[in-house]
Amino acid sequence: MSATTVTAPAVRRPSPLAHALHRQLGVAVYLAGWYWAIALVVLLVATLVVWRVNGTVDVSIVAYARQSAIWFPFSQAILLIAGLLRAHVAAGMTRRTFVRASLVAAVSTGLGYTLVLSALLVVERALHAAVGWDAEILEQGFELTGRDFPAMVAELAPALVLANLCGLLVGVVFHRFGGWWGTVTLPLTVLPIVATLALAGEWFGPVPLDGLVDVAGGAPLLTGAVLALVTAAVYVALVRSTPVRTPR
């Protein structure tokens, strides 16, 4: 009688990139769920208050969520560097893996917020029309009254994606050079998102830019793409040159 050796089936583990991306996107989705749940309640209450006071709501309330949709993920990206970069390297994974995962997570988060906000604007407009209200967008630099869903996505995406990339850049500068230089260089590290908002007419009105792709008088897509590439390139260079001290 011969003994039979049973070999356990090999367990296929995810690649380091997939593992890092799963963790980072998981946090982003969790926080986005809470953000949009709270935002919906706030927007509904604000709409009811305006209706109660004025008897009608002829402006878009959802449009005012754009600022928080820009700066909340921005702060989240900063915390990503502070909370995960050292732990990532300490777990035996490389900076390259972290960079790739964080860039994918940042862009995906920005696009996700863009799609949700654009969809809410379309739904709000439909609901207002059903009760005989207008849905004019009055926020400076966001002139999309009556525009369709693709135009809204094209208008919102540059700022919302760049905010996350700038958050990564701010985080790695603080990590690399410390609090003093991180604070001093803030005008440079947040310059891409500030420039995008300024070009969209956020503070000074619409800026004419002949030859660039411009949707609904908003932030040019070509300019946003160039700024995103430059921001990502600087971020990658800083992460690769950053010494990461891991606990012994």
Q: What is the DSSP string of 28-60?
A: HHHHHHHHHHHHHHHHHHHHHHHHHHHS---B-
Of 85-99, 138-152, 180-194, minimum mean pLDDT range: 138-152
pLDDT value for 200: 64
* Four-CA torsion 213, 214, 215, 216, nearest 10 degrees: -160
**What's the pLDDT tens digit per position in 133-169?**
888 887 765 666 667 888 888 888 989 999 999 999 9
The pTM score is 0.85
pLDDT value for 221: 74
SS3 74: helix
| Residues near 234 by beta carbon (within 8 Å), at least 6 away in sequence | 169
SS3 136: strand
pLDDT above 60 for 201? no
Confidence category of residue 35, pLDDT binned at 50, 70, 90: very high
**Radius of gyration for the chain, computed over Cα atoms and rounded to the nearest angstrom:** 22
pLDDT above 60 for 52? yes
pLDDT above 60 for 8? no
Q: What does DSSP assign to residue 61?
A: S
pLDDT value for 134: 85
- Report how far residue 140's alpha carbon sits from residue 217's, in angstroms, rounded to the nearest whole number: 12
Residue count of the chain: 248
Confidence category of residue 219, pLDDT binned at 50, 70, 90: very low
